[in-house]
Amino acid sequence: MVYKEQGQTPHAIAEILGSRLKQARLNQNLTQREVAEKIGITRKALINAEKGQVTLEHFAAILQTLGLTSQLDLFLPERPVSPIQLLKLQGKKRQRASLSTSKHNHSEQQESEALEW
């Protein structure tokens, strides 16, 4: 299935990922109890994960237990910093996104208005 940037809810995408976790577990002929015990979570937590209701940490642990962590590079590949951003940063590692120009100008205007008596 190809995901569209818009059109599917985050809930629907989570359900798809959960069902794929379940299928990967079944392909390896592992029970929910076996996987849950290896990770150190309850079987109920694994059932919820297979429904798409999982914390990121448990999701990663399940992938690790199923030997699927190499799939993360396909799932969310590392993105290099663009050359333009490198010039702007001048050797500094980016910590957060900057405000958009309109928001920045609006907040400056509010600050100047607040200072006027």
3-state SS string over 24-45? HHHHCCCCHHHHHHHHCCCHHH
**pLDDT value of residue 84:** 84
Fold of 10-75: 434 Repressor (Amino-terminal Domain) (1.10.260)
Residue 20 burial by CB count (10 A; 0-12/13-18/19+): exposed, middle or buried?
A: middle
**pLDDT value of residue 59:** 96
Half-sphere exposure of 4 (CA within 13 A, CB side): 4
Contact 18, 53 (CB under 8 A): yes
**pLDDT value of residue 22:** 98
C-alpha R_g of the chain? 22
Distance from the first to the final alpha carbon of the chain: 60
CATH 1.10.260.40 segments of the chain: 10-75
**CA dist., res. 38 & res. 48, Å (int):** 16
**pLDDT value of residue 109:** 56
Contact 36, 45 (CB under 8 A): yes
pLDDT tens for the chain, 117 residues long, are: 445 556 799 999 999 999 999 999 999 999 999 999 999 999 999 999 999 999 999 999 999 999 999 998 998 898 888 888 877 777 566 577 778 765 555 555 555 555 454
Q: Which two tokens stand for residue 102?
A: 């309109």
